[in-house]
Each structure stands twice: as C-alpha cells, then as structure tokens.
Amino acid sequence: MTDSDKPTISRRRVLASAGASVAALGSIPVIHQGSELTSPEIVGHRGVAGLEAPNTIASIQLAEQLGADGVALDVRRTADGTLVLFHDPVLDISTNASGRIETTTAEELADVRVDGEPIPTVREALRVIEDTEMSLYLELKKAGYTDQTLALIEEFSLESRTTLTSFLTGALAGLDTAPVETGFLGSAPHPDLFGDARKTGSSLVLSHYVPYGLEWFVEEANRWDLTPGIWELASTETHIEDSLSYDIGVLMTNRPDIALEKVR
C-alpha cells in the first residue's frame, strides 16, 4: 500500500499557496466594530497546519510552544477500530500512501507519513495534550464513533478541556448530557447553523471565514444565545485581523502565532 516513490501532495503547501493567492487579490477591509472586544481563545487548526504537518504530534507540540490556547484536531476511525488524527477520507491527497482510512488498519498506517510525520492515534495525541494546559477541540468526521472518542477523553480526564465538534448533527447526537462541550461547524454563515447547533445541544457555533458574512453570523449567534467562533483554512494576516475585529469566542487558525501577536 505504501509507495515511497509516489509523489506526495503536501496539504500544508497547498494551503499556503491558497492563502498567498487570496492575499494577492488585494486586502479585505477590516470591519472594526467600535466597541472594545474580548480576546477570543486562539486555537491552532490541526495543530499549526500553516507551519507543521497537520494533525501530527509535531504540530500539537508546536502549538504549545507558540502559546496557543488550544488545538483543533480531526478524528477518523480505521478498519480495525482505532481512532486516529487525520482529515481526509483518503490517504492519497497528503501522504505517501493510497487508500481509505476506514479500510486501512492501524498497523498498515504505521509506515504512512504526512510531510515526514507519522499519523498519530487519538490516544497518542491525548497523552501529549494531557501534559499541557491547552484546550482540545476534536472534530468527528463521521458518526458512529462518538462514544469511543468520549471514552478516551474520559480515560485521560480531559473532559473539562474538551469540545467535540462536527459538521454532522448525527455525530453529536446524545451528547447533551455528556461531560464535554459540543460545537457545531459550518462551511459558511448560514441560517440553518443555529438550529442545528441547538438540535445537538451545542453552546458553540463556528463558521468558516467568509468576508462580509461574519457580521450577520456573529449577531445571529448572539440572538440564538450561542457563542460564535470562526475557523479558517487559508490563514493570512488580513484574514486573522478581520476575524479578530468581531466579538467571537474562538478563532481556529493555521497560524496561531500571528493571531497571538494581535491579541497579546
């Protein structure tokens, strides 16, 4: 399955190029709201995906070194039921291997690399995070392994620091009485986000960074008595500055180092 000669497409390089392309189109006007804003929690997206291989131990450790308040990581399950940190359903896009995560065993993943870094199990990641003060946002990429994820969180006594997130209402079903927070994710500001967040018992609702749509999103989240958050793939200084001009509770960014410079 693993092919060391196969060309590897680095997600980090793709995202960096995308960010540079956006920046080249011209700066997006920053909307300063006038009132004094509370600094949001600065969370490293997939660790520090703008500087290190995403969803890896190295990326988590870099987030801590930079002083990030937390990390947001992606959870998938292998063919033999092991929970691992990985974003895509397939290995082909960002590793030196091919195949689907859900049809690959943990043993087969042992030799797979993302920009030279191994794919960690969730257990390995929690062991590292346990010794930090960072908060943890675990995104469930599919429904069906929520209880297994929660059991691992409880095993490491990380309930008070953990928020389970998803784009899928089914992945967050039944967590309204769980000892963790939940957050509902959206690809863009949209009216359905708030009802779906309520349906899952979430107190946090997050939208992807979309210029000019965020003011409405933040106001509507407040109207629904939900904490608004922003996550972004192409992290540029302009995007980060714009995001920080809104009264949000969480900013998930590939460049927490830039965001931290702005708020501290």
Each residue of 64-81: pLDDT tens digit?
999 999 999 999 999 999
Average pLDDT over residues 188-195: 96
Higher pLDDT, 108 or 21: 108
Tokens of 256: 């927490």
d(CA 74, CA 119): 11
Confidence grade of residue 27 (pLDDT, cut at 50, 70, 90): very low
Q: What is the model's pTM? A: 0.87
Q: Which residue blocks in 116-255 are alpha helix, DSSP H?
A: 122-129, 146-155, 192-199, 214-223, 237-243
**Contact by Cβ (8 Å): 144, 106:** no
Across the range 21-28, mean pLDDT stands at 36
- Per-residue pLDDT reduced to its tens digit, 82-117: 999 999 999 999 999 999 999 999 999 999 999 999
Q: How far apart are CA 45 and CA 161, in angstroms?
A: 16
CATH class of 43-263: alpha beta
pLDDT at 36: 63
Query: Structural domain boundaries of the chain?
Result: 43-263
Q: Provide the β-strand partners of residue 42.
A: 251
pLDDT band at residue 32 under the 50/70/90 scheme? very low
The Cα diameter of the chain in Å comes to: 56
Q: Answer whether 211's CB lies under 8 Å from 240's CB.
A: no
pLDDT computed for residue 264 by the predictor: 85
